Structure formats: structure tokens, C-alpha cells
Amino acid sequence: MNISGKTKVVGIFGYPIAHSLSPLLHNAAFEKLKMDFVYLPFLIKPPELKRAVQGIKALNLIGINVTVPHKQAIIPFLDELSPEASLIGAVNTVHHCQGKLIGYNTDGAGFIESLSQEGGFDPRGKRVLLLGAGGAASAITFSLVEKKVSELFIANRTFKKAQELVDRLKKTASSSCYLAPLKLGELSGTNLLPKIDLLINATSLGMFPEDPPPLSPHWLLSSLFYYDVVYNRRTQLLKAAADKQIRYLDGQEMLIHQAALSFNIWTNQKAPLRKMRRVIQENGKLKFPKRSRTTKRKDELKC
Ligand code: ATR
């Protein structure tokens, strides 16, 4: 990497940030296309977010990605929002353009692009069951409704959050999609699963080896397509899908496609998807933060 006085800088704001694969993905893409850019990780504690965002202009950064816990908190500090970011209520990409900071959300579109390009699955008119109602679930559901799925069931451990997400979708989405909230623990008692075309795990269950699956592998029926947004390891459900020869995708594809869309926003160039996938497969052994608080403290100490 040849950093010079002309090198353009992008990066990612998060807390923690050490586990992020985005620097690996974007720097590999810049190298492949011989672009004079560098992508840096920035560990930003929540109380520092406002000053950090002001720093994007002060330091003349081209843009940043935004990750946990800043995706919603950053919104008041930006000048404009894309329609998707505004609908979803969260930002994962900021572009510093003509003196303005414009917030985008590429998570939902990254999910849809990976589903169609890598999975060969067109969600239009399909029945979808999505597990989870957090940030990832929210981005994915808005994009699915926009893509005109016919029915969307949202099952979450905390029913209230599923209900709130459905209410938000009903208010903002101009689609005739049938929407229903469910309680995750009560799913197997329903007769819903055999009717589902696309099953998505958008909970964080599966990120850690000791995690139970959000749903019994018994429910991975051969008629459905399974998408697990967990990207740091093969979850029990992903392994079961492979064993049963069910069509599936893992969260690495969503990660790559959302990154490719951010790359395009900053550079106006098409991202080298194959290179990005290769670098993740070769180097993507994740040092994911452990659940204990001690890891967070270690992270701080490293600074
Ligand atoms: P992300 O940004 O990855 O979506 P998040 O916004 O914290 O993360 O959302 C995590 C999702 O995983 C939520 O739907 C959460 O369910 P709750 O709303 O009930 O908290 C779900 N989740 C996390 N741990 C879970 C567990 N042990 N069992 C079931 N669902 C879980």
C-alpha cells in the first residue's frame, strides 16, 4: 500500500471495532482496482460520536461505515438521509459529498442483491418468515417489503419488538404485503413453517459456538431457501441446511454485498466482488468479541 499526500481516506466508526472485517474487504478492493484509497477502523465511544462525525468534515474523509452501537445515534449529526436510511431509521454508510454528510443504509439492499445474485432467489410474491426484530431484521424487512414479497411473518423472542417493527412497516411501506408479528418461542406450535418459501435468521443467535439455534433444524424443510445473517461462523442451522441439501446463504454474502454498495457510493466504481469474497474466505477467521465484559475492557486497553 502506497500512502501518499493524495491518498483518500474512508473508514468505519464502531465500538467495539477490532473484530470488523470491513477494513480487510475494502482495502483488498482498493488494491485490486489500484485505487489510491485507504480504509481505517475508528474505535468511537458513544459519547464521542458527535465530535467524531464533525471530524469527517474536519479531516476531509470521503466517507465512513457505521456499525454497532452508532447506526441510529448518528442520524441527528448528518445533513441528509437517503430514502432507505430514512425508512429503516438506521445508517451504515456516510458519504461526505460537496461539504454535506449524507447517510445511507446498504444493509437491506446488500441482503437483496446477495439473495438474487448469489442465491438465485427472487423474493417477489414469496412467503417469508424472518426471525429477529433488531437492526439487521429491520433493514432486511424494509427491503423485502419493497421487493413485494406477498407475506412477511416476523418472529422475535420479545414479541413487543416484532409488533413494533410490523407497525413501522405498515406505516411506511406502500405495499400490499401481509405482515404479522409472532413470538419466536411459539413458532413450532403453528402450522406456518411448511408454507414458507424463505426463512431468514436475523437474530444474533449463532454468533457464538454455545448458542442454541433460534429454531429446531427439524423445520428446515426442503421446499424453502434458508438465509442466515450470521457471518462469523457456520451456525447449526447452516450446517443442517447443507446436510439436507437445502438452498442456503450465510451472512458473509450480505456483508460482501453491503460493502460493495458502500464502495460504490464513495467511489462511483463497481466493487470487485470476487476479490472481496476471496479475501474473506482466506483471512476472515474472526476474532469476534466474547460475550463477557472483560473483552470490552481489553479493547479499551489496546487503545
Ligand atoms: P443486530 O444489529 O445484529 O440485528 P440487535 O439489534 O441487537 O442486533 O438484534 C438482535 C436480535 O437477536 C433481536 O431480535 C434479539 O431478540 P430480542 O429483541 O428479544 O432481544 C435476538 N436475540 C438475541 N439473543 C437472543 C436469544 N438468546 N434468543 C432469541 N433471540 C435473541
User: How many Å apart are CA 112 and CA 121, to the nearest integer?
Assistant: 9
Distance 137 CA to ligand 1 centre (A): 9
- Give the DSSP H/E element, type plus range, for residue 201: strand 198-201
Q: Which of 138, 203, 208, 229 to mutate to test the pocket of ligand 1 (most atoms within 8 A of CB)?
A: 203
Q: Which of 129, 204, 228 to mutate to test the pocket of ligand 1 (most atoms within 8 A of CB)?
A: 204
Cell of 71: 447506526
Atom number of ligand 1 nearest to Cα 138: 4
- Give the DSSP H/E element, type plus range, for residue 117: helix 107-117
Distance 204 CA to ligand 1 centre (A): 5
CB 154 within 8 A of CB 182: yes
Length of the chain: 303
Residues 6+ apart with CB under 8 A from 303: 43
Cell of 101: 454528510
> pLDDT, tens digit, for every residue of 243-255?
999 999 999 999 9
Q: Which strands form 100-104's sheet, in the order they lie side by side?
A: 37-43, 8-14, 63-66, 93-97, 100-104, 80-81
Atom number of ligand 1 nearest to Cα 131: 14
The residues with which 180 forms a beta bridge, in sequence order, are: 153
Q: Where are the alpha helices (DSSP H) in 118-224?
A: 135-146, 159-172
C-beta 206 within 6 A of ligand 1? no
Q: What is residue 185's DSSP assignment?
A: G
Protein residue closest via CA to atom 25 of ligand 1: 205
Report residue 202: phi and psi, to 5°.
Answer: -115, 20
pLDDT at residue 2, rounded to an integer = 87
pTM > 0.85: yes or no? yes
What is the residue-level pLDDT of the chain in tens, covering all 303 positions? 789 999 999 999 999 999 899 999 999 999 999 999 999 999 999 999 999 999 999 999 999 999 999 999 999 999 999 999 999 999 999 999 999 999 999 999 999 999 999 999 999 999 999 999 999 999 999 999 999 999 999 999 999 999 999 999 998 766 789 999 999 999 988 889 999 999 999 999 999 999 999 999 999 999 999 999 999 889 999 999 999 999 999 999 999 999 999 999 999 999 999 999 999 988 765 544 455 433 333 333 332
Q: Which residue's C-alpha cell is 454498495?
A: 261
C-beta 183 within 6 A of ligand 1? no
Distance 171 CA to ligand 1 centre (A): 23
- Axis-axis angle for helices 107-117, 251-267 (nearest 10): 120
C-beta 289 within 6 A of ligand 1? no
User: How many Å apart are CA 84 and CA 206, to the nearest integer?
Assistant: 27
pLDDT at residue 213, rounded to an integer = 96
